[in-house]
């Protein structure tokens, strides 16, 4: 019998977690033969609702769920965890931009960064989902000086999946026949969903779709998909976000396939001229848990301008919360 692996999930009574926790308990992340112990963090007023979610988890009779800890204390939630899904944050309502969320959510991530620093496993893999995800991840990692920047990531996999799906639909192929789209930059309306290096059935995507569709339909559709879902549902994406969180963490553990990459928000090392020290989404390959930025892609003026626009937004977000960066 394998030893259980400890997984923290914050915002555990929220709508993303209501999908994510059951995916974890079903073995979709680490496999159906890997026991897990869930450490669930919520704010105190949400603990009664979380009790209800835990009852439902028990009622699934999952063979791999070997324990559930629920708490409102980050130091208990993150104690010795191997993986942390930082989902808890206030979500955006229809009249808000992600920037409005900065101040509200920044404080949460400095507290959680400090707690991870103190009590998490030194090899912990942290995924920040809560918005504004890139800057929240930067706050968390800068409050965790004893961990490495490589321990932290933020989620642009939902945007990546949205891009795969939009391109597959346009080309009338299965999503499995599309690969190597890229999300550059911030998980926000300035992100740059790039298909200039994407392949559809091994053909260059831009030989199959015209530039006007790429620029004026594809890019805004992917950039605005979150807002469009909010308008339609009255609530932000939840099941697709949970699915992307599982995809992101699973890629981190299992690795990427030969010749393929995924998009991940990581600590910039200056690749592609992006300022070092921002949490910027890049195309990455992963092997043995090590994330490497795909190097050597040709960047034309169109792409360069879009990559810089989203970089500028990330710099602005960083200056707005610089008091929280250690």
Ligand X SMILES: NC(=O)C1=CN([C@@H]2O[C@H](COP(=O)(O)OP(=O)(O)OC[C@H]3O[C@@H](n4cnc5c(N)ncnc54)[C@H](O)[C@@H]3O)[C@@H](O)[C@H]2O)C=CC1
Ligand Y SMILES: O=C(O)CCC(=O)C(=O)O
Annotated binding site for substrate: 92, 98, 131, 162
- How far is residue 160's CA from residue 175's CA, in Å, rounded to a whole number? 12
187 has catalytic annotation:
yes
β-pairing, 290-293 vs 279-287, is antiparallel
β-pairing, 203-204 vs 199-200, is antiparallel
Q: How far is the CB of 269 from ligand Y (least distance, A)?
A: 25
Residue from the set 237, 243, 256, 268 that interacts with ligand Y by CB under 6 A: 237
Binding of ligand X by 41 (CB under 6 A):
yes
Phi and psi at residue 90, in whole multiples of 5°? -85, 125
DSSP state of 123: T
Cα–Cα separations (whole angstroms), residue 131 to 93, 177, 187: 12, 31, 8
- In the complex with ligand X, the residue whose CB is nearer, 14 or 283, is 14
Binding of ligand X by 153 (CB under 6 A):
no
Annotated binding site: 11-17, 92, 98, 105, 112, 129-131, 162
Cα–Cα separations (whole angstroms), residue 10 to 48, 71, 93: 15, 10, 20
Contacting range for ligand Y; rule: CB under 6 A; set: 8-16, 73-81, 224-232, 255-263: 224-232
Q: How far is the CB of 272 from ligand Y (least distance, A)?
A: 23
CA 1 to chain centre: 31
**C-beta separation of 190 from 309 below 8 A:** yes
Residues in contact with ligand X, total (CB under 6 A)? 28
With CB under 5 to 8 Å by kind, the binding choice for 46 among ligand Y, ligand X, none is ligand X
- How far is residue 161's CA from residue 5's CA, in Å, rounded to a whole number? 27
Binding of ligand X by 13 (CB under 6 A):
yes
Binding of ligand Y by 229 (CB under 6 A):
yes
Q: What residues line the site for ligand Y (CB under 6 A)?
A: 91-92, 98, 131, 158, 226-227, 229, 236-237
Q: Which residues bind ligand X (CB under 6 A)?
A: 10-11, 13-17, 41-43, 46, 87-89, 91-92, 108, 129-131, 133, 155, 158, 187, 236-238, 241
Where in the sequence numbering do the catalytic residues fall? 187
């Amino acid at each position: 019998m394998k030893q259980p692996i400890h997984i923290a999930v914050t915002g555990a009574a929220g709508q993303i977690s209501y999908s994510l926790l059951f995916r974890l308990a079903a073995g979709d992340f680490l496999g159906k033969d890997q026991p897990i112990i869930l450490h669930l963090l919520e704010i105190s007023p949400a603990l009664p609702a979380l009790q209800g979610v835990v009852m439902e988890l028990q009622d699934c009779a999952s063979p791999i769920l070997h324990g559930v800890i629920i708490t409102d204390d980050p130091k208990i939630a993150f104690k010795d965890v191997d993986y942390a899904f930082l989902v808890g944050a206030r979500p955006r309502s229809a009249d808000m931009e992600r920037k409005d969320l900065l101040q509200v959510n920044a404080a949460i991530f400095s507290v959680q960064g400090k707690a991870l620093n103190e009590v998490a496993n030194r090899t912990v893999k942290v995924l920040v989902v809560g918005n504004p995800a890139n800057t929240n991840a930067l706050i968390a990692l800068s409050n965790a000086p004893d961990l490495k920047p490589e321990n932290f990531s933020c989620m642009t996999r939902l945007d990546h999946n949205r891009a795969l799906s939009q391109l597959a639909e346009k080309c009338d192929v299965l999503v499995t026949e599309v690969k190597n789209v890229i999300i550059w930059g911030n998980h926000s309306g300035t992100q740059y969903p790039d298909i200039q290096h994407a392949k559809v059935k091994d053909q260059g995507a831009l030989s199959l779709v015209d530039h006007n569709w790429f620029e004026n339909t594809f890019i805004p559709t992917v950039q605005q998909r979150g807002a469009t879902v909010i308008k339609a549902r009255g609530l932000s994406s939840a099941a697709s976000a949970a699915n992307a969180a599982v995809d992101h963490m699973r890629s981190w553990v299992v690795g990427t396939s030969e010749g393929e990459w995924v998009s991940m928000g990581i600590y910039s090392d200056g690749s592609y001229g992006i300022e070092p020290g921002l949490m910027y989404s890049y195309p990455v390959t992963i092997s043995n848990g090590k994330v490497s930025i795909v190097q050597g892609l040709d960047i034309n003026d169109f792409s360069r301008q879009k990559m810089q626009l989203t970089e500028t937004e990330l710099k602005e977000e960083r200056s707005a919360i610089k008091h929280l960066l250690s």
